[in-house]
Structure 1
Amino acid sequence: MLKAKVIIIPQADFNHGATREYARKQLDTDIVVYLTQDAIPVSADLIELLVKPLIKHDDIAVSYGRQIAYQGANIFEAFPREYNYGNNSQIREIDDVAEYGVYTFFCSNSCAAYKNAALNEIGGFKSVLTNEDYFAVADLLQKGYKIAYAADAVVKHSHSYTLWQEFQRYFDTGYVRAESPIIQQLVGQAESRG
């Protein structure tokens, strides 16, 4: 039987970056995998496919999986998944900023794996309202690491947000990114993918 340690974080204390960093520090593993409770693996080999780029390549520090919308999802749920999560796996590095802009740092901790030692090098996840994955990837790429998009590691994950909830998400994203203008200066305006 597998032993699991359950840590309960009160909702009032939850912070995307700080909570993930706290959980990471509870582990003594080479690789840490993040999978949210509403991301449903499409196949039993999800974790194997997700961590494969980290095992095969010394210079890849993070790998994230493909998200597809739940069956019956509306266009507002499905389109962002189709637009940001293509069928082809990819490896990106800091030199790709000219081609991909902010998408260079695109990642989702709804289904992602990181090398723990690389996260230690950047001080782990920052305590931020949202986009902790974006900031971690930006720091890792600036250190010379690469990011892998593992298109074969697939989860069903989408949200049926109201227009107000979508606005709040994008507002929060803009707010936290404005708090760290160094990344904005590096990539320019976030006007396309990601």
Structure 2
Amino acid sequence: MSNLRVAMVVPTYNGGDIWKKSAASIRNYFSGDVLVIDSGSKDDTVSIANEMGFSVLGINSRDFNHGGTRNLGLRQLVSSSDIVFFMTQDAVLNDAESIENMISMFDADDQLAAIYGKQIPHDDANVIARHARHFNYSERSYVVSKESGKPLGIKAVFMSNSFSAYRVAIFEKLGGFAENTILCEDMLFAANALSAGYKVGYAANAVAKHSHNYTAVDEFSRYFDIGVFHQEQNWIRRDFGGAGGEGKKFIVSEMRFVLKRQPLYLIQAFINNGAKFLGYQLGKRYKRLPLSLSKKFSMHKKYWK
């Protein structure tokens, strides 16, 4: 059994019914301390956390920041934890072994800075959302350094705080998450960790349910923000390369997946992919746009001040 001390941070805001499932899965499958950082929920999110025996830290919703809020949470736990897990309020742990499997990867390599787990679709996921999880989360675990991760290109720095874990000592040494990025604070940390000589990994045998049935408008806004991130952090693509032909592979895979299962979703898939492309291209060029337009296009509107 591992001697590593573990804890978990979950940011919440009006978590709804899915938070009930998430909280129950954490209580059932996670044995460490759990800190919920709530941004002023108006529903029963906080009472659910209290019922589960979690610690709760309340913040003002206007103070929420993807990187900063998670930094706040980890630093509440830094003296009592070696590994801190992050989950989102809409992710549901699959089993206790998922946590143990991630911990064992940290035990096996003291240079491992961060790991993300496999995400599978929620029961209500549509065929497009199911394919996204099928394509993006493989059956093979890995641990890479900057050098060994070169064949993966930019995928080497992929990280998802919907279900992830970080070694506290390295996290602190690298300064934690950036607090000035629109999103992808997890990916930026992974890139910084690899650049500093550490390793990052993926645990295919650590599973949580997490998916979204995004509309075309949602995809446009989400990819606009991703484009903004890649423009602001263009050194990542320079140092780690692009995704190569992954975009084309994704579309071909999606068409086959949808055709085989629910062909009526083909038109929606085409529209969504067009929205992604347009949003991403505009996001990369956000500096040429009026601030009001960037704010309108963005999913994370509080970023634009």
TM over 0.5: yes
Matched-pair contact (CA < 8 Å) for 2:182–2:228: no
Counterpart pick for 1:95 among 144, 147, 161: 147
Q: Taking structure 1 as reference, are residues 98 and 63 closer, same or farther at Cα in structure 2, changes over 3 Å only?
A: closer
1:20 counterpart residue number: 70
Query: Is structure 2 residue 107 aligned with structure 1 residue 55?
Result: yes
Q: After superposition, where does 1:155-166 map in structure 2 within 5 Å?
A: 155-166=208-219
Query: Is structure 2 residue 87 aligned with structure 1 residue 35?
Result: yes
For structure 1, the 5+ residue unaligned runs are: none
Query: Is structure 2 residue 132 aligned with structure 1 residue 80?
Result: yes
CA distance in 2, matches of 1:8, 1:19: 11
CA distance in 2, matches of 1:73, 1:54: 32
Deviation at 1:97, TM superposition (A): 4.6
2:227 counterpart residue number: 174
CA distance in 1, matches of 2:236, 2:92: 31
Q: Deviations over 1:103-133 (max 9, x none)?
A: 0101111111110111112111001221001
Deviation at 1:95, TM superposition (A): 1.2
Code of the aligned partner of 2:119: Q
Code of the aligned partner of 1:55: D
CA distance in 1, matches of 2:214, 2:58: 25
CA distance in 2, matches of 1:152, 1:123: 29
Code of the aligned partner of 1:167: F
Code of the aligned partner of 1:183: I
Deviation at 1:86, TM superposition (A): 0.7
Matched-pair contact (CA < 8 Å) for 1:68–1:157: yes
Counterpart pick for 2:183 among 130, 154, 159: 130
Deviation at 1:174, TM superposition (A): 1.3
Q: Deviations over 1:146-192 (max 9, x none)?
A: 11211111001001121111111111111012111221211233452
Q: After superposition, where does 1:98-109 map in structure 2 within 5 Å?
A: 98-109=150-161
TM-score (normalised: structure 2)? 0.60
Deviation at 1:75, TM superposition (A): 2.5
Aligned identity (percent) is 38
What SS does structure 2 have at the residue aligned with 1:38? coil
Matched-pair contact (CA < 8 Å) for 1:46–1:154: yes
CA distance in 2, matches of 1:177, 1:96: 23
Q: Deviations over 1:37-91 (max 9, x none)?
A: 1111111232212222112211211111100011241132112211111111111
For structure 2, the 5+ residue unaligned runs are: 1-32, 34-52, 251-305
CA RMSD of aligned residues (A): 1.8
CA distance in 1, matches of 2:243, 2:203: 23
What SS does structure 2 have at the residue aligned with 1:144? coil
Range moving further from structure 2, 95-104 or 163-172:
95-104
Which has a greater percent of helix? 2
1:152 counterpart residue number: 205
Relative contact order higher in (CA < 8 Å, ≥ 6 apart): 1
Code of the aligned partner of 1:89: S
Q: Taking structure 1 as reference, are residues 12 and 134 closer, same or farther at Cα in structure 2, changes over 3 Å only?
A: same
Q: Report which of the two structures shows the higher radius of gyration computed on alpha carbons.
A: 2
